[in-house]
Amino acid sequence: MAAIVRLTGAPSVNGNDWKAINWHKARREVRRLQIRIAKAVRDGRYGRVKALQWLLTRSFSGKALAVKRVVSNRGRKTPGVDGAIWSTPKQRMTAVQNLKRHGYKSLPLRRIYIPKKNGKMRPLGIPTMHDRAMQALYALALLPVAETTGDPNSYGFRPYRSCADAIQQCFNSLAKRYSPQWILEGDIKACFDEISHQWLLKHIPMDNFMLHQWLNAGYFEGGTLYPTKAGTPQGGIISPLLANMTLDGLEVAVKAVTPRRTKVNVIRYADDFVITGKTKELLEDTIKPAIEKFLEERGLTLSPEKTRITRIEDGFNFLGQNPRKYKGKLLIKPAVDNVKTFMAKVRETIRKFTAKKTGDMIRTLNAIIRGWANYHRHNVAFDTFKTVDNRIFRHLWDWAKRRHTHKGKRWLIQTYWFSSPKAWVFSAAEKTPEGKRRVELIRATSIGIERHVKIRSAANPFDPKDAAYFEKRIADRQRRRAGRAIKKAA
């Protein structure tokens, strides 16, 4: 009996105090079960996988971590159709105790819309807090399965993987002189909205009762309840995991129909992917039909307007980057459309602060510039950074002239710019209890270019033999961050 209690994760808290939960112990207990699930998958023992998933989803540690994820993410203040949010420790502890499969019934989603880059609106389905927590709990049990069976070169919505890994894999596949010259840019039409429910229920190795509840919850819009006949709700915690598992196997399907030495590489990030090939005919006549057949089984289709075949000399856009060969040399630069979107956001931010505090504008712009530059700093981006800095300077100069219509150039420069050892810096003086301080605008060029070390394609965070590898990656990343902080302070 003691072994069972230890296996299922004994409560990490005495009584009902949310603040007293031992989170380190809870994570350790959940990870131990996840490692065992991954091992059972590798051994092909799916009966044991199911038993271990049952233990994890009924453990106190798993339930506590699921609630913690829901109350810690960006949507913690966004309620579902019941209007409930968990803002107090008592509500969160009650939520942990109420995460039970017996008697569970998923409530409909709350439908909202957010704008897309092309001007259209993307529908999101917002589950209730309780449904989100249940999804987070079962995602803990499903994740080690997905990581063990996933495609080696799939990089979206996976732990320890990022866009930078996908772009670096593009470089590895295309940079050499004898690398493939043709690229199929693939995009799946309304991927999250069209996935077949029948396929998911048949192939996703998890509790079918729970999966059925989420897939058929329906959604409320304008006071009317609509059914969900296909797809996984964008906005649900488990949806990216389900979509990834739906598309896993694409790499195998493509390579199964291609002869050897055809230089075929598959690089996927969520539902966006690129496939390299030696000839255009290979991509058009062999690989594309295989992809369409693979997707058709899952209720999906390729997007005709976004799926195209191009030469590497013409370049292609992928995840905001533009890989392209210039006289035989591969350079990956920020995509033109990505730069335009970034500058539009900067202009709109500056416009909003015409009559507000300059220091607040600088802090807002710093977050935008730092985030964009950090995303692109692994590629050939320094010239683009200089161009962006010049454009931002012009926008700030126009802002200053609009703000002070009766002041001359010298006054504007003395008020908003000061000369640093390297360049003129836009800034603002603020009064604080300790005295005056200066808030400075960062430059994109101050974010140093740094080569990204791609994750090993076969590395699995739930495989003990890869534990030392991930520990080293985390330590190296922390060391680089510390180095950048020291350089910034200096």
Mind listing the pLDDT tens digit for each residue in 215-239?
A: 999 998 888 898 888 888 778 899 9
Using DSSP's 3-state secondary structure scheme, residue 105 falls into coil
Q: In sequence order, which residues have a C-beta less than 8 Å from that of residue 394 and are 6 or more positions away? A: none
Instruction: Write out pLDDT tens, residues 162-216.
Output: 999 999 999 999 999 999 999 999 999 988 889 999 999 999 999 999 999 999 9
CA distance 53 to 33: 8
pLDDT range class, residue 118, cuts 50, 70, 90? low
CA count, 13 A, side-chain hemisphere, 7: 11
CA distance 6 to 22: 15
Q: How many CB atoms lie within 10 A of CB 234?
A: 18
174 contact partners, CB below 8 Å, separation of at least 6: 180, 183, 276, 312, 323, 325, 330
Query: Residue 158 has what pLDDT?
Result: 95
What value does the CA radius of gyration of the chain take, rounded to a whole number of Å?
Answer: 26
Tens-digit pLDDT profile for residues 437-482:
889 999 999 998 999 999 999 999 999 999 999 999 999 989 888 8
Q: Which residue is it, tokens 């080293």? A: 472
Report CA torsion sign: 374, 380, 386, 391.
negative
H or E element that contains 193: helix 191-194
DSSP-H helix ranges across 304-357: 336-352
User: For a pLDDT cut of 90, what percent of the chain falls above it?
Assistant: 76
Query: Running DSSP on this structure, what letter comes out for residue 194?
Result: H
- The single-letter code of the amino acid at 124 is L
**pLDDT band for position 435 (50/70/90)?**
confident
Q: What is the mean pLDDT of residues 71-75?
A: 90
Residue 3: pLDDT over 80: no
Yes or no: say if 342 and 367 are a contact pair by the CB < 8 Å rule: no
pTM for the complete prediction? 0.90
Closest CA to 369 of 441, 427, 306, 474: 441
- On the question of pLDDT at 157 being above 90, the answer is yes
**Length of the chain in residues, anyone?**
490
* Residue 422 binned pLDDT confidence (cut-offs 50, 70, 90): low
Average pLDDT over residues 259-268: 90
Distance (Å, whole) CA 77 – CA 85:
6
Closest to 171 (Cα-Cα) out of 302, 265, 299, 271: 265
pLDDT at residue 432 tops 80: no
Are 194 and 300 a contacting pair, CB within 8 Å? yes
Q: Distance between CA atoms of 128 and 110, rounded to whole angstroms?
A: 8
Cα 401 to Cα 412: distance, rounded to the nearest angstrom: 8
pLDDT above 80 (res 27): yes
Of the candidates 417, 441, 432, 447, the one whose C-alpha atom is nearest the C-alpha of residue 361 is 441
d(CA 338, CA 317): 9
Q: Report the alpha-carbon distance of residue 206 to residue 360 in Å, rounded.
A: 48
According to the model, what pLDDT value does residue 242 have? 96
> Are 76 and 85 spatial neighbours (Cβ–Cβ below 8 Å)?
yes
Give the torsion through C-alpha atoms of 72, 77, 82, 84, to 10 deg: 70
User: Is pLDDT at 7 greater than 50 in this prediction?
Assistant: no
